[in-house]
Chains A and B, each alone.
Chain A
Amino acid sequence: MELGLLDGFVRAISLMNLWYCFLGCLLGTIVGVLPALGPAATIAILLPLTAYLNPTQSIIMLAGIFYGAMYGGSTTSILMNIPGEAASVPTCLDGYQMTRQGRAGQALAIAALGSFMAGTAGALFLSFAAPLLADFALAFGPPEYFGLMFFSLTALFSFAGSDLLRGVSAGLAGILLSMVGLDIMSGTHRLAFGIPKLLSGLDVIPVLMGLFGVGEVLFTAEQQITSVYEGKLGHLIPRGKELVKGLWASVRGTVIGLATGLFPGLMPSVVTFIAYDIEKRVSKYPEKFGTGVIEGVASPEAANNANCQAGFIPLFALGIPTTPIAAMLLASLMVYGLPVGPMLFKQHGDFAWTVVASMYIGNVMLLILNLPLVGLWARLCLIPYRILGPVVLGVVVVGAYSIRNSMFDVWTAIVFGLVGYVMKKWGWPIAPLILGFILGPLLEQHFRASLQGSGGSVLIFTQRPICTIFIVLGVVLILMSRRLWSKVSVQEAEAGDSK
C-alpha cells in the first residue's frame, strides 16, 4: 500500500494532474455554493467533456467536483441561510444564527477545518481499507457478486426516500431501461422494437444529463435567489473553548461520516442530519442547538465530507456505488473500459493510487480555496439564473451529441430531462432510477452467470454463505426501511427525497 500511495503521489503532482485536481476542486466549490446547480448535475453535464481526457485526469477532476461541492455547500448555508446542497441543510440551522451574531467567520472557518479534517481522514481510510477490501473481494464469484448487488440495490431503494414503493418502482424502471438493446450474453435484441437506434441501447450519459442536468435546471428555474450577504465575517479562526468544541464535534462527525459512507444509500444529505441529531444528543446543552452553536456546524460539515470520501472505498474495491454521484463515477470508469471491482487495484494500481493521492492534495487545495476566498464564493450567488440556466441546457445538448455524434442522444437527454423534472415535481426519488439503470446490467450478468455455474439451480444462492448473508440483509433492509423512515424527521425525509 505504502509504495502504491507514494507512487500515486509522484504521479499526482505532475502538472496536468494537479491542474485537473484544482479544476475539479474549483468547480466543486462553485457548484457547492450555487444553490441552483448540484454536483450530480455538474458531473452529469461534464461527463462527455471529460471523455477527451485520459482516465486518471478525468476521474481526478470528477472526484474533485464531488468532494469540493461538499466543502462549498456550507458557504451559502452559513452566510445566507441558503443550502447550496441538500447535505448542507443542517448547517443552516446553527451556521446562519452564528452569522446573525457576527460570528460568520468562525462558522466558515470551523466548517472548512472540519471538512479538511474529515476529507483527509477519509482519504487515509480509503488508502488503507480499499486495498484490504479489494483483496477480500478477489475470492468473490458470480453468486457473491449477485448477493452484493442485490443488497446494494435494495439498500439504495430503501434509503432513497420516505416512500419505499416509489423507490423500488423507480429502481425497477431503471433496470428495465438498462435492458433496452443487445443482450450481452446471447446477442438477442430486447425492447428495441426494430428501431435501429435502440439496438445499441440507451447510453448512460444522455440519461444522466437529462435526469440531473435538464431536470434540475427546469426545477430550480422556478426559484429565484436574490440576496447576498453584505455584512462582516468577524474574526475567522475560533479561539479557546470554541475551537476545542468545534474540533471535537468535527471528530465525531468524521467518525459518523466514515462509518455510514461504506453503506449504499446512506447519502451525505441524510448523514448530515444523523450527525446533527447525534451531536445534539451528546451535547450538555441540546436546547441551545439552532441558536448558533459551533458544534451544530462542525459535525454535519465533517460528516458529509467523510461520508463522501468513504464512498470511494466500496466504489474502488467492489465496484459498488453508494450514491448517485458515485454511480456516475462508476459509469465513467466503465466508459474508459477500466475494470470495476477488486481488479481495479490489481490491474490498474497506478490509476487507483494516483486518484487516491490526488484526494489528499485536493483537500489541501480546498482548504486554501475556501478560507481566504469565502467572500468571492458568497457573491457567486449573484450570477443570474437567466444566464446560468440556458448555458447548462446548451452544454447538455451539445454534450449529449458529442458522445456518439448522434442526435438520438440529444432526444434521449431531453426526454429524460422531462422525466427528471416531473419526478422531482411529484416527489419521486431519482436516485433509484439511475442506480437501477447503471447496476442493472451487472446484477443480471452475475445472476445469469451464477445459474450457468449451477446448471440452472437457484439453490446456489443459499449454498454460498456470503451471498446468502447479503440477500438476507437486503430483504431485512427492505422490510425495516418503513420503520426507519417513520423515525426520521420531516426535514430529513425531504432531504432524502430530493436526491
Chain B
Amino acid sequence: MTLEIILLVMAAVGVFEGLRLSKSVLLFADPVGPGWYLFFMSCLLFICALALLVRAFKRRKAGQQQGNFSLLKGFAGRVVFLLLLYALAIAYFGYGIASAIFFVWVQRFFGERSWARCAIFGVAITGCFYLVFSTLAKVPLPQGLFIK
C-alpha cells in the first residue's frame, strides 16, 4: 500500500499547487495557464490513487496481500543505503577515494567473499572509471570539499 499512499500524496500536492497557480494572472493568449492543466492531471491521479488504495484495503481484508519485503533488512535496502553514503562521500572526499571504498564494499554485498579480490577489483574499477570519464571524456569529477 506504500506506493498507493505516495501517489495519493503526490496527487494532493499537485492539486494544491494547481489551485495556487490557477489564481495567477492568465495571459490572454494562454487560456489554460500553468495551473489548470496541473490541477486536472492531479485530480485524475488522485481518483486513480484513491481507487488503488480502496482496492488494496479490500485485498488486505480478503487476505490477498502483495509480497512483503523489508527494505531495511534486504539486499536492495543495503545497496541503496551504500549508494546514498557513496554520493555523500563523493561530495566530501572526492570521486577517487569515495569510489575505491564504495567498490570494495559493494562487492561484499554482491557476494564476493575474498577481501583481497574486493580490493583489487575495487581499485581497478575506480582506475578504469577515472581514466574513461576524467581523462578521456574530460568530465570534471568532484575533488571533494575536504581535499580542495
Residues of A within 8 A of B (CB): 49, 52, 165-166, 168-169, 172-173, 175-176, 179, 183, 185-186, 188, 190-191, 214, 217-219, 221-222, 224, 385-387, 389-391, 393-395, 397-398, 401-402, 405, 407, 410-411, 414, 417-418, 421-423, 425-428, 444, 447-448, 451-452, 455-456
Contact = CB atoms under 8 A, between A and B. Distances in A.
A165 B14 CA distance: 19
Interface string B44-66: 11001101100100000000001
A176 B83 contact: no
13 contacts: A165-B48, A172-B44, A172-B45, A176-B41, A221-B110, A386-B107, A389-B106, A390-B110, A398-B95, A398-B129, A407-B90, A414-B87, A426-B3
A175 B41 contact: yes
A166 B139 contact: no
B90 A410 contact: yes
A69 to B, nearest CB: 22
A405 B139 contact: yes
A49 B30 contact: no
A168 B48 contact: yes
B32 A447 contact: yes
Contacts of B34: 183, 185-186, 188, 190
B69 A425 contact: yes
B119 interface: no
Contact of B129 (A173, A385, A394, A448): A394
Given A398-B139, A425-B67, A190 B21 contact: yes
Contacts of B125: 390-391, 394
A404 B122 CA distance: 26
Contacts of B84: 414
B116 interface: no
A393 B10 CA distance: 28
Contacts of A218: 75-76, 79-80
Chain B binding surface, main DSSP class:
helix
Given A222-B75, A398-B95, A49 B83 contact: no
In this complex, which of B3, B21, B52, B125 has the most chain A Cβ atoms within 10 angstroms of its Cβ? B3
Nearest to B44: A172
In this complex, which of A191, A224, A385 has the most chain B Cβ atoms within 10 angstroms of its Cβ? A191
A385 B110 CA distance: 7
A250 B129 CA distance: 42
A494 to B, nearest CB: 14
Interface in B25-50: 27, 29-34, 37-38, 41-42, 44-45, 48-49
Contacts of A398: 95, 129, 133, 139, 141
B41 A169 contact: no
